[in-house]
């Protein structure tokens, strides 16, 4: 379905539901609060354009977070209703009983996160990490892949100094020479690559059997009471992804979408397209397949969350692993968006 047709569908849905949509939302909270992170993706243009506000009539407070761990803390405390987070903090949240659902795959991380080693650090091969200092945001997708990578290399986090650092702190520590390596995402990743090299990417590690992704989380109560808001948001994100996929060969740094992404992430417009090319933005139809949101415990998202939780449990990061993570994966909102 094209963007114009889908936008009309959104408006028709909201009109058909009447003012009760806005009244019931107001009864739950005066403002819808949505958390997001600084990764570059097409849906940042949805935030910048206020498309969700225009489609729903809601007042929305957008809050930026530096890491998925901080997002989950905010969701657990009830401070935000909807948020983006990586598959590792999502698995940690679900394992700890935070009452949220995964409703959309924002991106398959692929090559957009990487373990970078600094020039002059003496790290040429994986075994050279022994005795070095590495920065990574704990309970993030990069933390999960750091531990998985070390396991593949025959190392553990006891063989080197692994520091819990937020992206901005990693950038500063790299500049000062306090760390030899980091596993991180853009825009910090792009800066580190200027004085370092990629030792291994999340894309490679995913192909070794442990996939990572960024997903959209919804407070279960909010979603059940306002499914039309979630479906509308998914529809708009899906349209932005489709616009990027259809036009990526002709997009330039001056394109409105590129400018919006740069603005919302604090990155440089001339770097946006190179970063976007590292991700896979999964089409709506593919999300509603066994590869991702569908097929219960055998679905791709549920399996990825289970494997991630299993690994986090082995590392002492979560108390227990749930038997089935598909009960926290809800494709109904994406199905609803498909009808708009």
Domains in the chain and their CATH numbers? 3-108+212-338 (3.40.190.10), 113-207 (3.40.190.10)
Tokens linked to 163 = 């520091």
pLDDT at position 287 over 60: yes
Neighbouring CB atoms inside 10 A of 269's CB total 16
Q: Please give the full DSSP string across 47-74, using - where no structure is assigned.
A: HHHTHHHHHH---EEEEEESSHHHHHHH
Candidate from 9-13, 58-62, 165-169 with smallest mean pLDDT: 9-13
**Which residues make Cβ contacts (< 8 Å) with residue 335, sequence separation at least 6?**
288
pLDDT over threshold 80, residue 273: yes
Contacts of 169 (CB under 8 A, 6+ apart): 135
User: What would the mean pLDDT of 49-77 be, rounded to a whole number?
Assistant: 95
Q: pLDDT confidence of 263, banded at 50, 70, 90? A: very high
Q: What is the pLDDT of residue 93?
A: 96
Q: What are phi and psi of 77, to 5 degrees?
A: -85, -5
Three-class SS state of 326? helix
User: Do residues 199 and 126 lie in contact, with contact meaning Cβ atoms separated by under 8 Å?
Assistant: yes
pLDDT digits (tens, 9 = 90+) for 124-142: 999 999 999 999 999 888 9
Q: What is the mean pLDDT of residues 179-197?
A: 94
Pairing of β 60-65 and β 32-37: parallel
- The H or E element containing residue 211 is none
- Residue whose tokens read 């992206």: 167
Tell me the residue ranges of DSSP E strands in 160-206.
161-164, 181-185, 196-201
331 has pLDDT over 70: yes
d(C-alpha 76, C-alpha 234), whole Å = 22
Over 70: is that where the pLDDT of 30 sits? no
pLDDT at position 211 is 84
In this prediction, what percent of the chain has a pLDDT beyond 90? Answer: 81
Q: Tell me the C-alpha to C-alpha distance, in Å, between residue 154 and each of 27, 114, 335.
A: 55, 19, 43
Helices (H) and strands (E) in the chain, counts: 17, 10
Question: Is the CB of residue 186 less than 8 Å from the CB of residue 192?
Answer: no
Q: For residue 107, what pLDDT is reported?
A: 95
Beta strands 181-185 and 113-118, pairing class: antiparallel
Q: Would you say residue 118 has pLDDT above 80?
A: yes
Burial class (CB in 10 A: 0-12, 13-18, 19+), 285: exposed
Q: Among residues 2, 78, 68, 77, which one has the least CA distance to residue 39? A: 68
Backbone φ, ψ for residue 118 (5° rounding): -80, 140
Give me the chain's average pLDDT, please: 90
Averaged pLDDT for residues 326-337: 98
Strand 100-108 with 213-219, pairing = antiparallel
Q: Tell me the two tokens of residue 98.
A: 């935070």
Confidence of residue 238 (pLDDT cuts 50, 70, 90): very high
Mean pLDDT score, 297-304: 95
SS3 assignment, position 334: helix
């Amino acid at each position: 379905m094209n963007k114009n047709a889908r936008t009309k569908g959104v408006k028709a849905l909201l009109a058909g539901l009447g003012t009760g949509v806005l009244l019931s939302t107001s009864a739950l909270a005066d403002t819808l609060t949505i958390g997001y992170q600084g990764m570059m993706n097409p849906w940042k243009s949805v935030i910048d354009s206020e498309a969700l506000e225009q489609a729903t009539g809601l007042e929305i407070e957008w809050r930026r977070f530096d890491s998925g761990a901080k997002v989950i803390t905010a969701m657990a405390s009830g401070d935000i209703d909807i948020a983006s987070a990586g598959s590792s903090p999502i698995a940690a949240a679900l394992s700890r009983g935070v009452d949220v659902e995964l409703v959309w795959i924002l991106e398959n991380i692929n090559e957009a996160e990487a373990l970078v080693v600094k020039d002059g650090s003496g790290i040429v091969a994986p075994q050279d990490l022994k005795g070095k200092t590495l920065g990574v945001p704990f309970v993030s997708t990069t933390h999960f892949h750091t531990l998985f990578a070390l396991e593949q290399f025959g190392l553990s986090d006891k063989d080197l100094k692994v520091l819990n650092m937020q992206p901005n702190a990693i950038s500063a520590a790299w500049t000062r020479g306090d760390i030899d390596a980091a596993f991180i995402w853009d825009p910090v990743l792009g800066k580190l690559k200027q004085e370092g090299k990629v030792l291994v990417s999340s894309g490679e590690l995913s192909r070794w059997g442990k996939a990572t992704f960024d997903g959209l989380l919804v407070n279960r109560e909010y979603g059940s009471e306002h499914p039309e808001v979630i479906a509308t948001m998914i529809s708009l994100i899906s349209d932005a992804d489709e616009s990027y996929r259809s036009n990526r060969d002709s997009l330039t740094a001056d394109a409105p979408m590129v400018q919006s992404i740069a603005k919302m992430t604090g990155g440089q417009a001339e770097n946006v397209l190179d970063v976007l090319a590292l991700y896979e933005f999964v089409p709506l139809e593919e999300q509603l397949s066994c590869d991702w949101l569908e097929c219960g415990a055998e679905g791709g998202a549920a399996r990825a969350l289970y494997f991630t939780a299993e690994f986090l449990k082995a590392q002492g990061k979560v108390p227990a692993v749930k038997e089935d993570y598909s009960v926290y994966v809800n494709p109904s909102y994406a199905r609803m968006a498909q009808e708009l």
